[in-house]
Amino acid sequence: MGYKMIGVRSSSGNRLLIEQQLADKPWKLDWFYEVRHLSTSLGLVEAGLGISALPGLAMPHAPYSSIIGIPLVEPVIRRTLGIIRRKDAVLSPAAERFFSLLINLWTDDKDNLWTNIVERQRHALQEIS
């Protein structure tokens, strides 16, 4: 592959998804660094120590302006996210608004979410160049 791979620990849901999708491939990823948190992998990537595959929702904004995201074309890895709340609790206005924002974002633009994040990253890099 040519790059040192930075991955989250093997018990992570993200890692399990990646390994499940690659199970039938003739090659295996050789994890050079294994971290506990995605934020640690971002720091290692920013330091130039390797590359990492992570969910689009985990793509950073500042202060990681030197990192750019590139969507994985093959294999496509999808995961299901949900929102939990107490049945008997009334949400505050701020929490209710946040809940509505997430529902609208996930239902209206779920296919373009990663593309939008990557475009934001490219635009940010062009601004600082």
Own/partner long-range contacts of 53-59 (Cβ < 8 Å, ≥24 apart): 53/5, 53/7, 53/18, 54/14, 55/14, 55/79, 56/113, 56/114, 56/117, 56/118, 57/81, 57/113, 57/117, 59/114, 59/117, 59/118, 59/121
What's CA 23's distance to the chain center, in Å?
20
pLDDT of residue 1: 56
How confident is the prediction for the chain on average, in pLDDT?
A: 78
Structure tokens at 41: 């992998």
Q: In the predicted model, is pLDDT for residue 4 greater than 60?
A: yes
pLDDT of residue 124: 56
pLDDT of residue 36: 93
Q: In the predicted model, is pLDDT for residue 122 greater than 70?
A: no
Mean pLDDT score, 66-74: 79
pLDDT of residue 24: 85
Q: Give the residue extent of every domain in the chain.
A: 5-128
Mean pLDDT score, 58-87: 75
pLDDT of residue 94: 93
